[in-house]
Amino acid sequence: MSSGTLKFSLESIAENIVKGDRRALARALSIVEDGGPEALELVQRLLPKTGNAQLIGVTGSPGVGKSTLVDALISEIRAAGLKVGVLAIDPSSPFTGGAILGDRIRMQAHTMDKNVFIRSMANRGHAGGTALATYDAARMLEAGGYDVIIIETVGVGQSELAIAQTADTTILVLMPGSGDDIQAIKSGIMEIGDIFVVNKGDLPGANKTASEIIASLELSTKGSEWKPPVHVTNAEVNEGVNAVWNSVAAHKNYLNSSGQLKLRRKHKLQTELSELVAEIARNKLNDSLEKSQAAQKLMNQLLESELDPHSAAREVFEKIFSN
């Protein structure tokens, strides 16, 4: 394909996304997953159409019922007359793993609905990892006129937290007896939760788990304006999900009225910018380490113990980034 044809097709993809074309959106999401110059051009073209959606992160350990909850939330969001897009990110199943297939089947009830768009994202070419691709994927959905974008991520590790931080509102999902998760809340690892959900409320111990979360939140949220609500749900039968949606709406109001939305988005953009600069720098560094004679000379000095790695690193930094 000549670059001329490509330009034309990227232009038409962008135009068609804004018109609500789902195939164009699907194509754009593949492009931003891969990263690179085409992704950049799409983001540039669509940037004026972004910034208006509410981004909701749903995170928690595998099997707690995140996808089931998302499915139930979609019904609430549609009942409110809003258009909803879902990005399901599962780094453990990069291709067609069981979890992703399961999510598809579960969410099939919504597949006939033109105002629901569900996408399983894999960690593909993007060197900066899934978090960076997620920012751009959300931008594509925003340009497509989706009012609410849900980002489902597995687990509570560093990279998942990075993805969760692309959201305005983060829902942390647990289930009865999630002892490790409760520990994580106590130790402050899970301070990213704006709303807590103990799902599988039909199982024994749900209320006890909820009380434990409330108790640990009392300490960590002392003095803060937003007190994260803790809900018990049975997502499989839509029980308690309406209350979760009401909390999401309340959190949106809080973000707007307190000025936190602007602060959060600024913080988010700073994180994204910093990640992008790091990606550029790392690429340049790796390239230079391989190609530059000065770097090879330093490597030899390191090997011969004539120079320590700290001093070598400073010298490499000066050489590569100061011009």
Q: How many residues bind Mg ion (CB under 5 A)?
A: 2
Minimum Å gap between C-beta 62 and Mg ion is 7
Q: What is the DSSP string of 182-245?
A: HHHHHTTTTTT-SEEEE--TTSTTHHHHHHHHHHHHHHHTTT-S----EEE-BGGGTBTHHHHH
Interaction site with ligand GDP (CB under 6 A) = 60, 62-68, 102, 199-200, 202-203, 234-236
Residue 107 DSSP class: G
CB 31 within 8 A of CB 38: yes
**CB < 8 Å & 24+ apart, contacts of 266-274:** 268/165, 268/166, 271/162, 271/165, 272/132, 272/135, 272/166
Sole binder of Mg ion in the list 67, 75, 170, 178 (CB under 5 A): 67
- Closer to Mg ion at the Cβ: 66 or 231? 66
Distance between CA atoms of 177 and 188, rounded to whole angstroms?
A: 18
Binder of residue 134, out of ligand GDP, Mg ion, none (CB less than 5 to 8 A by kind): none
Residue 224 CB, nearest distance to ligand GDP (Å)?
27
Dump the DSSP string for 30-57.
Answer: HHHHH-SHHHHHHHHHHGGG-S-SEEEE
Using the contact rule CB under 5 A, the part of the chain among 16-24, 64-72, 165-173, 287-295 near Mg ion is 64-72
CB nearest Mg ion: which residue? 67
Q: Are 221 and 228 in contact (CB under 8 A)?
A: yes
Q: SS3 for 150? A: strand
From the CB of 234, what's the least distance to ligand GDP, in Å? 4
Between residues 63 and 188, which has the closer beta carbon with respect to ligand GDP?
Answer: 63
Q: Pick the stretch among 59-67, 164-172, 180-188, 307-315 that binds Mg ion (CB under 5 A).
A: 59-67
In angstroms, give the least distance from the CB of 71 to ligand GDP. Answer: 8
Residue 12: C-alpha distances to residues 17, 19, 115, 133, 149 (Å):
8, 10, 21, 21, 23
Q: Which is nearer to Mg ion, 110 or 268 (CB)?
A: 110
How near is the Cβ of 90 to ligand GDP at its closest, in Å? 8
199 binds, among Mg ion, ligand GDP, none (CB under 5 to 8 A by kind): ligand GDP
- For every residue of 59-92, DSSP letters joined together read EESTTSSHHHHHHHHHHHHHHTT--EEEEEE-TT
- Residue whose CB is less far from Mg ion, 67 or 234: 67
Q: Minimum distance from CB of 217 to ligand GDP (Å)?
A: 21
In this structure, what is the dihedral angle of CA atoms 111, 113, 117, 118, given to the nearest 10 degrees? -30
Kindly state the helix (H) or strand (E) to which residue 119 belongs, with its residue range.
strand 116-121
**Shortest distance (Å) from residue 146 CB to ligand GDP:** 21
- Report the residue number, 70 or 298, with the smaller CB distance to ligand GDP: 70
- Selection from Mg ion, ligand GDP, none that 64 binds (CB < 5 to 8 A by kind) is ligand GDP
User: Binding of Mg ion at residue 178 (CB under 5 A)?
Assistant: no
Nearer to ligand GDP, 27 or 119 (CB): 119
Residue pair 45/142 in contact by the 8 Å Cβ criterion: no
Does 120 contact Mg ion by CB under 5 A?
Answer: no
Query: Under the criterion CB under 5 A, does residue 153 sit at the interface with Mg ion?
Result: no
Given the rule CB under 5 A, which residues bind Mg ion? 66-67
